[in-house]
Structure 1
């Protein structure tokens, strides 16, 4: 009995303690700071809603948040749309090389995120590889490929696509392919089999993929700084500026609270839709 208690403490107590110390406590501290204010780089401990009022009345912050939400939705949809056929192909045709293909998805993570974004600058820039080839062929260079929201979207897809593929592939590992075979035996075509069998039974894994793309895209700072240009500022980048150049930490904490609320709301909405639509949790039940 004592060994069982020690085992439960090790496997449940330590992770719970880690989450409390490094997630719950900082979140509470940020929430408290959001109701204070800062003046001349000093924190004034006077509770109020001034920071949230600023976020509501200043059009710039609303624009940054809306732009970030649209960007996160678009990138999540693109990543999921590309990840599904890639992960499905690995599952069906990977054979004994499935593990090799899966490990290949981790190759981009062997270099830092900064290096990968800088590499994209060399690819998409005005004198980058793509435009250099176009000029060599006599075409007009594509100026919109760099320092634009399109460039930021390309960069975010490049960064988070391996995560989306990996999550959907792991979801498919728990999928019984005999169900799809049975559907085809009874006359269902490939498209109908996918949308009525494969997709619903892996819907939970797809939602996990969307969330793991949506949340980091919503708070990204590096990609818009390097690729977005002057009109590509996203909410996470504006938030980071409050803790750096501006020194308005309380306002930055309020922006963080808003970001957290939006992330949690979208996550709960997606899972609520999943439960209503399918009546089961797919990967979650596996």
Structure 2
């Protein structure tokens, strides 16, 4: 007689199967295709490293990758600076309205991505609100606000800063703010208390927020296309072209593998930087 399956397997089995089929298998396929070649929109199992030679040999692809990495890093740092004060205020002073405040921050996600980017175009564009206001004051419009790397950066910060706020807030929810009073009694000022108490005890939330912002910005294609223009072509935009206009799927697969590798590297670095015993999630301090 067949032995009964444990209840946990019956509950987790469908989800595990879905992840295996819909996530791991496509990733494996992309990895395999990256060693093939494409001709006339057809994939051929001609095993070689030509796609990677193209990516790391041609200056354009290196420029796109470097631009995406630097842009994602800057966007993450800007989101970090903006998000920490907001998350701290909500966690400490939000009271019974904390959940409502967090939901309000996430309100833009109730609409589609294109709509949100279109709203930014209406603000930053040549005929947008900023330039209209400048015109009413007699000043010349600022052309650099649109179709530049600066515009793409503003778009990334606008789109992903709620992720950073939410991650830091969830860490601060478990933080004992009485520790700050103890630090104050022992002569620590607000800045020192933040650096030596609040920041290290909530580094896990901060690191998760950095990952949640960095990886989407790294692979972003829509925001640079609609806000950055040709001068802000990203690695993600070029990757999308391989699977679309040019049909060079093997090269696009190699680009996907590179992006996945960079993302894993960032996750590994953030993971190594986290001390779980000092995490705001564990509620435990050092012995």
TM-score bracket, normalised by the shorter chain, equals over 0.9
1:5 aligned to 2:6?
yes
In the other structure, the counterpart of 1:107 is: 107
Q: Is the 8 A contact 2:224 2:237 kept in 1?
A: yes
Specify the SS of the correspondent of 2:48.
Answer: coil
How far apart are the structure 2 equivalents of 1:180 and 1:149?
40
Give the TM-score normalised by structure 2.
0.94
How far apart are the structure 2 equivalents of 1:12 and 1:179?
40
Q: After alignment, is 184-193 or 154-163 more displaced?
A: 184-193
How far apart are the structure 1 equivalents of 2:261 and 2:174?
32
- Ranges in structure 2 where 5+ consecutive residues have no aligned partner: none
Specify the SS of the correspondent of 2:43.
Answer: strand
Cα deviation for residue 284 of structure 1 reads 5.1
Cα deviation for residue 238 of structure 1 reads 0.3
1:40 aligned to 2:37?
no
Pick the aligned partner of 2:279 from 274, 277, 282.
282
Specify the SS of the correspondent of 1:68.
Answer: helix
- Ranges in structure 1 where 5+ consecutive residues have no aligned partner: none
For residues 123-148 of structure 1, what are the alpha-carbon distances to aligned partners after superposition, in whole Å with 9 as ceiling and x for unaligned?
A: 00011100110111111211111000
The alignment yields a C-alpha RMSD, in angstroms, of 1.6
Cα deviation for residue 188 of structure 1 reads 1.2
Structure 1 segment 35-184 matched on structure 2, within 5 A: 35-184=35-184
How far apart are the structure 1 equivalents of 2:105 and 2:281?
23
Cα 1:19–1:284 change in 2 (3 A) is farther
For residues 187-237 of structure 1, what are the alpha-carbon distances to aligned partners after superposition, in whole Å with 9 as ceiling and x for unaligned?
A: 211111111001000001100000000000000111011001111100001
Aligned length: 281
Cα deviation for residue 13 of structure 1 reads 3.2
In the other structure, the counterpart of 1:19 is: 19
How far apart are the structure 2 equivalents of 1:12 and 1:178?
40
Structure 1 segment 256-275 matched on structure 2, within 5 A: 256-275=256-275
Cα deviation for residue 11 of structure 1 reads 4.8
For residues 31-65 of structure 1, what are the alpha-carbon distances to aligned partners after superposition, in whole Å with 9 as ceiling and x for unaligned?
A: 00000000111111111111011111111100000
Cα 1:89–1:284 change in 2 (3 A) is closer
Cα deviation for residue 283 of structure 1 reads 4.0
